[in-house]
Structure 1
Amino acid sequence: MSYALLFPGQGSQAVGMLGAHAAPVIDATLREASEVLGWDLAGLVRNGPVEELNRTDRTQPALLAASVALWRLWQSQNLPAPAALAGHSLGEYSALVAAGSLGFSDALRLVELRGQLMQAAVPAGTGGMTAIVGLDDEAVARLCAECPDGVLEPANFNAPGQVVVAGEIGALDWLDANGKASGARMVKRLAMSVPSHCSLMRGAAQMLAAALEKIDIVPPSIRVLHNLDAAPRADAAGIRAALAAQLHQPVRWTQTVQALQATGIARLFECGPGKVLVGLNKRIAEGLTSVALEDPAGLSQAAATLNA
């Protein structure tokens, strides 16, 4: 019966997200986030505009608030507690809030700052991210190393044969021209102005680390696997270090899902907008039940698997 809740990262946001859930706890959580941040997060989530929602300093707190709102709705169902939690990139903060390690208000302010630091670290139009499909992790790393000029590094090990790389625009242009010649089936530039999870974020990570030192963090009540190495941490210092390092190190999602499965967890529920993680999970491991909670049907389906 053991299961894990997984929290999505940037890219899962959409105007009207979680609108299918007519649940007071979701509206209340979004209003709470608006009050904490001092701007109308609830209105942005419901009504857009999409251009503002997609600004990384808006996206990050909006996604965190939506994911925590869905977590609170899940809690209200009086179901067994999850055996573990994990989050993809930004979703790691949502997981830590759900585990009681990080306060909701503190997390909102942190991820807003995280978005601001990320955008400031690399001027708009000079960095980005590209998805590579059809090459294994080692082949992607070799391809990045072959780039003759500029930063180009693996950023998200999302699933076998699906890796996202980050870097400078010139290096991404080189990848566009040379990726398929190296055996990739697809090389697709993503709509991301920030090259997350690569060495270009090292300065931002240092400033984030300083901010994290001022935040109260307590041991999580539920095991949280971190992006850095798919391992849990029980102490505040370890959690702070993992969150800071995460900003300039790759997200090891494949390893995270495999680690959950290795502990006997066979049910994975995506707690947030969208179904990105459900799709990745199905590519990572066979024998897993993976369900998105973004609408009432998904939530009911997930609950039914626990009550069967």
Structure 2
Amino acid sequence: MYEKNQATAFPGMGPTPYHQVADFMTDHPYARDLVALADDVLGHDLLAHYRDSPTDYSAAAQVAFLVNCLASARWAEHEQGVRPALLAGASFGAKAAAIRSGALDAADGIWLTAQIARLETEYFADHHGDLVTLSFVRTPRPELDRILDELADWHEISCHIDDDFFMVTVRRDKLEWLRRRLRAAGGLPLYDTDPPMHVSLFGDLRDRVAAELLPRITIRDPELPVVADYDGSHRTTADGIRAMLLDGLVTPVHWPEVVRSLRAAGITRLCVAGPDALFGRVGVTRRAFEVVAASPRSAMHAGETA
């Protein structure tokens, strides 16, 4: 059953400290079942590896984020009446969307997430160490275009999040110049991401995922269409899901295009499932939909007040 005006979106990954989600992953039944599955797939204790992760984006942290997104969606559907007719996933969230759609089994999705994290670690140890992705707000596109023209150096827009919210990848030696120039124009630089993300130069990484990982899992036609995060197209076949997972490595996220696509399909209520501090909160999302936040925190709070 689904409601034709409802969709679920899975957010891009941000740093999520273990202590913020430990109780949810340990005690909540929807999360606990997925953690047990991840333990079996990975062959080790996910929570222990996550707790001891040396970085915010370790393989364990990425699998934990995936588990928390899927568990949050299950809670929203079973306990909060969310019945999505469409799915979307921003950046990392595309993996969760593929699983929820039925195109991937959860076990295959967990394995794929861990293996992509491994490949990325290997790849970026030897490639593109001179690149970094900077996120910033309060910079409308016309002003950003002027700044990038002044940069007069290689760059790519990696994410378009809102009307004045972007992520741009530049050479590391241009990072401080870009920060200063954005501030001078009234912008607010937020944080940089290293290794960088969603850059066309990463074709070799895409090819390795296609050749080494995807042949080892089963991808089916999805039961629910998935909106691709870079062009708003509706993916309804196994080939479409496969291309979406691969192309996301080398193609910029265009969240306003996802919003436009969902609105054109008649979506008025959007559940954002997972630990999210961005995609469900930006203006382009809030103006377009009634947003339902389904996070580990909200699921635990609901259990305490039930």
**Shorter-chain TM-score category?**
0.7 to 0.9
- Residues 222 and 238 of structure 2 are in contact (CA less than 8 Å); yes or no, is this contact kept in structure 1? no
CA distance in 2, matches of 1:131, 1:18: 25
The TM-score normalised by the length of structure 2 is 0.85
1:143 aligns with 2:144: no
Mapping for residues 1-308 of structure 1, pairs under 5 Å: 2-19=5-22, 21=24, 22-45=27-50, 48-49=51-52, 51-52=54-55, 54-77=56-79, 79=81, 81-123=83-125, 126-137=130-141, 139-141=143-145, 143-144=147-148, 146-149=150-153, 151-181=154-184, 183-190=185-192, 192-210=193-211, 211-280=213-282, 282-284=283-285, 286-295=287-296, 297=298
Q: TM-score, normalised by structure 1?
A: 0.84
For residue 230 of structure 1, report the CA deviation from its aligned partner.
1.2
**For 1:34, what is the secondary structure of its paired residue?**
helix
CA distance in 2, matches of 1:80, 1:292: 11
> 2:83 and 2:61 mapped to 1: Cα distance?
28
Offset from partner CA, 1:256-294 (integer Å, 9 cap, x none): 0222122221111111123322212x3445252112111
Q: Which amino acid aligns with 2:17?
A: A
On the 8 A contact 1:12/1:274 being kept in 2, the answer is no
Paired residues of 2:136 and 2:167 also in contact (CA < 8 A): yes
The CA distance in 1 between the partners of 2:160 and 2:220, in whole Å, is 29
Measured in 1, the distance between the counterparts of 2:227 and 2:33 equals: 28
CA separation of 1:51/1:228 partners in 2, compared to 1, >3 Å: closer, same or farther? same
**Take 2:112 and 2:142, find their aligned partners in 1: how far apart are those partners?**
33
Identity score, percent:
26
Superposition deviation, residue 158 in structure 1? 0.7
Query: What is the distance in 2 between the residues matched to 1:171 and 1:213?
Result: 39
Write the distance in 2 (CA, Å) between the matches of 1:300 and 1:223: 31
RMSD value, Cα: 2.6
